[in-house]
Structure 1
């Protein structure tokens, strides 16, 4: 398996003419974000949940990647849901920006892709929002959990989906399956 961290270190050595880990060229600067990402991407690759797959469209841009989540239980079991993750330059002081690319009927994900996940909030009243100690691994595991144990009908972003579940769980399940059939295969 190609590890992006090792590739970046190797490429850095080729660009500067120095072996990885050697003295740095003062004209070649790597942002703090990029240094954090090299470490975090390597950790992420080693610790992805079995229901997730990360992909990097441009292996030289670790700050932009995609995540596919294929839940193996619950309402969303038969679908694959795609997320786009952008890590801002101010990372790790601010959370990554995440958007669901797959249309979905979910109480915590709007049909337009916005996501309600407390750890992605820069500021939260309950203290569960973003903190500089969080990592990309936390984000991936949080997104994965939105389909199981973090599925929250009591504090919804998509109020219609939450109310639908409250009114008729079987019809809610049917609508979720219809969305999966049309958008998440």
Structure 2
């Protein structure tokens, strides 16, 4: 996790524009990765003792493994492993959470006109996912 966090700090602090000759896409860090940098430490702090997250590549927080070892119940002493890949659109999950009582406008818009809503989301993604 420190590797990606350090990269984010370097990228934010050392912006030199396009003069370096490298394209923006090679140095740009996605919104997903910025969110995950903050959320991974929170995840690890709140995981129960029966769960462990591991990151094979600390520069790719969007790909990790979760091991669950129940300490009670039918599956006690079992070990279950999950591979988790967080999609690039991860940042949209919170923004478009229709169950969130604070997002009433988005939910009503979606119910009223699904096609227009889809277009607005696509415009939003094009604009903010740069």
After TM superposition, the score normalised by the length of structure 1 is: 0.42
* Matched residues, number: 91
Aligned residue for 1:66, secondary structure, equals strand
Q: Would you tell me which structure has more helix in proportion to its own residues?
A: 2
Determine the C-alpha separation between the residues in 2 that align with 1:33 and 1:52.
23
Structure 1 gaps, min length 5: 96-129, 135-185
Distance 2:83 2:53 in 1: 10
Cα 1:132–1:54 shift into 2, 3 Å: farther
RMSD between aligned residues: 2.9
User: 1:8–1:133: structure 2 CA closer, same or farther, 3 Å change rule?
Assistant: farther
Structure 1 residues 38 and 25, CA gap change in structure 2 (3 angstroms): farther
For residues 88 and 15 of structure 2, the distance between their equivalents in structure 1, rounded to whole angstroms, comes to: 21
- CA gap of 1:52–1:132, structure 2 versus 1, over 3 A, is farther
Unaligned runs of 5+ in 2: 18-23, 101-130
Deviation at 1:7, TM superposition (A): 2.8
Deviation at 1:73, TM superposition (A): 0.8
